[in-house]
Amino acid sequence: MKTEKRFFGTTFRDLSEFFGSTDFSKAILLGIALTLPILIGIKLEVLQVGITITVGAMLASPSDVSGSIRHKTTGILLATSLAMLISLIGGYLHVSLWLLFPILGILMFSISYISIYGFRASLISFSGLFALVLSFSNVTGGMPPYERALLIGVGGLWYIALALLWHFIFPNRATEFYLSKTLKLTSEYLRTRGELVAEKKNRSQLLKKLLGIQAELTDNHETLRSILITNRTGSGTSSYEGKRLLIFAQLIDMLELAMAHPVDYPKTDKLFEEKHDYLLDFQNLLFSMADRLEEISTYISIPKKLSATSQVALCLVKVERDIKEYAAETMDPVNENMLMLRNLYKYQWEQVKKIEKIEWLLTGSEHRQIPFIQKEEAKQFLTKQNYDFEVLIENFTLRSSIFKHSLRIAAVTMIGYAIGIFFELQNPYWILLTLIVIMRPSFGLTKTRSKERTIGTLIGGGLAVGIVLLIQNPLVYGILAIVTLIISFSMIQRNYKAAATFITLSVVFIYALLRPDIFNVIQYRVTDTVIAAGLATLGNLFLWPAWEIESMQKTLLDSFKANRLYFNEIVAFYKNKGALTPEYKLARKKAFLEMSSLNTAFQRMTQEPKSRQKYLDKIYELVVLNHSFLSSLASFSTYIINNETTPASKNFEMVTSRISQNLMNAEGILNNDVSLDNTADISSDDIFEATFGNKIRLSENQKDQPLSFSQELEFNFQIEEAHLIREQLKWLLAMSEKMPKILKETQF
C-alpha cells in the first residue's frame, strides 16, 4: 500500500513539474504562435499567408531558451534575420540541379559553422538550416521568394511579440522553475551522498550517479546565474531578484559543502561498522536535509505553505548526541575517529544553516535586513562568450570538432538529397530535415538520437495508422495535430524518443487534413527517417569523425588548470585570512564548470565504438581522481572559511607549493612541453611530520593537564585543525603526485 502511495505521489509530482516547466510553457506559446495565423488565414481566405507566417514563427522559436530577456530577444531577432536571408536564397536554388548541390553544401557548411560561437549561436544556426530545408518544400505554395522571406520576418516578429507578452504576464516563471529544479537536484545530490555513506559493494556506481547529478547541477547553475544576474543588473535592485540570487548563492555553497566528503572511505566504513547506529543517524540527517530541500522546491513560489518544522533539527541533535557519547567512551580528544566524527558533524551543521537561511530568505526576511549581492560583483560571474571574428579563423581547421561537423553535415545532406531525388521519394526534404535534427558533433549523441528518432517515428506511425483507421473526422485530426505538436515540443529536451513519436503523429494528422493518401505519407515518413538515421550514423563514423579522445587532452588540461587555480586561491585565503575575494569565488565556479565538462566528455566517450575508446580505464581513473581532488579542495576550503586557523608555517607552504607544482607538471604533460619534475622528490610523510607532528605531540602532552573550559575549547580546535588540514593536504599531495604518473602512461 505504501509502495503504491509513493508511486502515485511521485507520478503526481513529476506531472506537476512537467506542466510547470519552461519546456511546457514554451510549447503552449509555440502552439498559439503556430495556430493563430493559420486560423486567421482561413477566416480571411489567405491561408497561404497564414501558413508562411506560421513558418516564420517556427523558425524563430528555437532561440527562445531560458536566459535574460535581452539575450532571448536578440537571439530570436538574429534567428529571424538569418531565416529570412536563407529563405530568399533557397527560393532561387532550383534553377539548375548542377548548381543546387554545391550551393546546398556551401550553405549547409556556412550556417552550421556559426555554432562555433556557443549554445545560443547553435540555435540560431539551426533556424538557418531549418529555413534552408523548408525552401525545398512546397509548404508556402509557390509564393515568390522575396514575399515568402518578408512573411517569414513577420512570423518572427509575431513570435517575439508573443514571447515578450508571455514574459510580462509571467515574469518570474523561469526563475521559479530553475530555482526549484536546482533545489531538487541539490536534494538528490545530498540523498545520493547519504546512500554512499552506507554502500560498500556498489560505491563506484553511486559515484558515477553523483558525477551525473553534479554535471546537471552545474549546467543548471549556469542557466540560473544568467537569468538572475542579467535580469537584476538590467532592472535595478529588485528585492525579489536579490533574494533569489542570495538563495542561489546558498545552493552553490551547499554543493561545495556536499562535495566535502570524508577523505578515506575505508576509515569511515571501519568506524560505522562498529557503531552502526551512528551511521544510521548520519544517513538520516542527510536524508532529512534532502527531504527539506525537496519540500522547499515544491513551495518555492508559495512559501507560506512550507511547514514550520522538519526532521532536520531532530536528526542533528541525534548526531550531536552520538559524538558526545563517543567522546565519553574514548576520553581522548586526539582520537582520529573522534576528530573525523566532529568534522563530519561540522559539515552537516553548516548545511543545516544554509537551509535555514534559504527558509529565512523565503519566509521571514525583511528588506532592510538582507545584505544583497552588489551588481558589479554579481556581473563578474556571468560566463561571457567571445564573438570576435578571430574565433572563426582560429577554428577553420580539421582540429576543430565544429569545423568537422560542418563539413560532415554539408556532405551528408547533399548525399541524402541525391538519394531522395534518385529514388523519387515523395518528400526528399524530409531526409534533410531529419539529418539536421539528429546530427551532432559527437558520434555517441548522433547514434543515440538516430536510434530514438527511428523508434519514435515507427511508434508514431503505428499509432497514427490505428487512429486514422478508427476515426475519419477532420475536426478530430485538427485537434490532435495541435495537441501532439505541443506535447512534442515540450518533450524534446526531456525525452527525444517520445518527442519523435508525437512529432510523427502531428505531421500525419496535418497531412490527413490536406490530402487523402495518408498511408503513403506514413510510409514515406518512416522511409525517410530510416534513410536519414543511417546516413547520420555512417557520416559521423566515416566522414571526418571527431572522436572524444582527440579533445580529451584539452578537456583534462582545462580541468587540471581550474583545480590548480582554485587550490591557489584557497591557500592564499589560508595565509591572508579576511573576507572571501571575488577571485576565490570565480576560481571555484570555473573548477566546478570544468569538472562538469570533463565528466560530460567522458560520458560521450563511453558511447563511442569500442575501438575508439582508447585508454578508457586510465581516463576514467583521471576523471575520478579529478573529482576526488575537487571534493577534497571543497572540504579544505569549507573548514578554513568557517573556522579560525593558525598562521601558515613554512612547511605548510612547502607542501602546498609541491601540490601546485605537481598540477603544473600534469598540465605540462598534457601540453607536451614539460616532463615530470623529480627534483623535489620529498617524502610526504616527512613533510607532514615536520609540519604537524610537533603540534599534535604538544597537544597530546597537554591533554593530561587540567584545563579551563576556554583552554579546552581552544585545545580541541587546534587538534581539529591539525588533523583536518594534515589529512586533506596529505590526500591532495598523494592525488597530485598520481596525476602526472597516470598521464605519462596515457599517450594522447
The 10s digit of each residue's pLDDT in 364-393 is 656 555 555 555 555 555 566 667 888 888
The 10s digit of each residue's pLDDT in 86-109 is 999 988 877 677 788 888 999 999
Instruction: Give how far the C-alpha of residue 740 lies from the chain's centroid of Cα atoms, to the nearest Å.
Output: 28
Q: Residue 710: what pLDDT?
A: 44
Q: Residue 695: what pLDDT?
A: 46
Residues 311, 290 contacting (CB under 8 angstroms): no
SS3 call for 158: helix
Residues 150, 85 contacting (CB under 8 angstroms): no
DSSP string computed for 520-547: HHHHHHHHHHHHHHHHHHHHHHHSS---
Distance CA 129, CA 413 (A): 11
Tell me what the mean pLDDT of segment 116-121 comes to. Answer: 86
The 10s digit of each residue's pLDDT in 168-185 is 888 888 888 888 889 999
Tell me what the mean pLDDT of segment 447-454 comes to. Answer: 87
Please enumerate in sequence order all residues whose Cβ is within 8 A of that of 233, keeping only pairs 6 or more positions apart, or say none.
375, 378, 379
Cell numbers found for residue 82: 538569418
Residue 55's identity, in one-letter code, is: V
Tell me what the mean pLDDT of segment 567-588 comes to. Answer: 82
Report how many helices (DSSP H) and strands (DSSP E) the chain contains, helices first.
29, 0
Distance CA 85, CA 89 (A): 6
Please enumerate in sequence order all residues whose Cβ is within 8 A of that of 308, keeping only pairs 6 or more positions apart, or say none.
none
Distance CA 222, CA 217 (A): 9
Mean pLDDT, the chain, rounded, equals: 79
Instruction: Give how far the C-alpha of residue 158 lies from the chain's centroid of Cα atoms, to the nearest Å.
Output: 31
Dihedral angle, C-alpha 718, 722, 723, 728, nearest 10 °: 140
pTM over 0.75: yes
Q: Residue 548: what pLDDT?
A: 84
- Whether 609 shows a pLDDT value over 90: the answer reads no
Dihedral angle, C-alpha 612, 616, 618, 621, nearest 10 °: 150
- Whether 274 shows a pLDDT value over 90: the answer reads no
Kindly state the percentage of the chain with pLDDT values over 90: 12
- Whether 161 shows a pLDDT value over 90: the answer reads yes
Burial, 690: exposed, middle or buried (Cβ in 10 Å; 0-12, 13-18, 19+)?
A: middle
- Whether 586 shows a pLDDT value over 80: the answer reads yes
In this structure, the number of other CB atoms found within 10 A of the CB of residue 179 comes to: 24
Q: Residue 234: what pLDDT?
A: 46
- Residue spans of the domains in the chain: they are 1-170, 173-220+240-373, 397-543, 548-745
Give the lowest-confidence range in 84-93, 200-209, 226-235. 226-235
Tell me what the mean pLDDT of segment 539-565 comes to. Answer: 88
SS3 call for 580: coil
In this structure, the number of other CB atoms found within 10 A of the CB of residue 577 comes to: 11
Distance CA 699, CA 718 (A): 8
C-alpha distance across the termini of the chain, in Å: 55
> How would you write 208-235 as a 3-class SS string?
HHHHHHHHHHHHHHHHHHHHHHHHHHHH
Cell numbers found for residue 448: 543515440
Per-residue CA distances from 634 to 263, 328, 425 (Å): 11, 30, 59
Residues 51, 134 contacting (CB under 8 angstroms): no
Distance CA 425, CA 419 (A): 8
Give the lowest-confidence range in 32-46, 52-66, 375-389, 403-417. 375-389
Burial, 334: exposed, middle or buried (Cβ in 10 Å; 0-12, 13-18, 19+)?
A: middle
Say if domain 548-745 classifies as CATH 1.20.58.
yes
Burial, 300: exposed, middle or buried (Cβ in 10 Å; 0-12, 13-18, 19+)?
A: buried
- Whether 116 shows a pLDDT value over 60: the answer reads yes
Among 528, 535, 493, 534, residue whose Cα is nearest residue 507: 528
Tell me what the mean pLDDT of segment 443-455 comes to. Answer: 86
Distance CA 252, CA 255 (A): 5
- Whether 709 shows a pLDDT value over 50: the answer reads no
Residues 615, 742 contacting (CB under 8 angstroms): no
> How would you write 283-346 as a 3-class SS string?
HHHHHHHHHHHHHHHHCCCCHHHCCCCCCHHHHHHHHHHHHHHHHHHHCCCCCHHHHHHHHHHH
Angle between helices 203-235 and 69-90 (to 10 degrees): 90
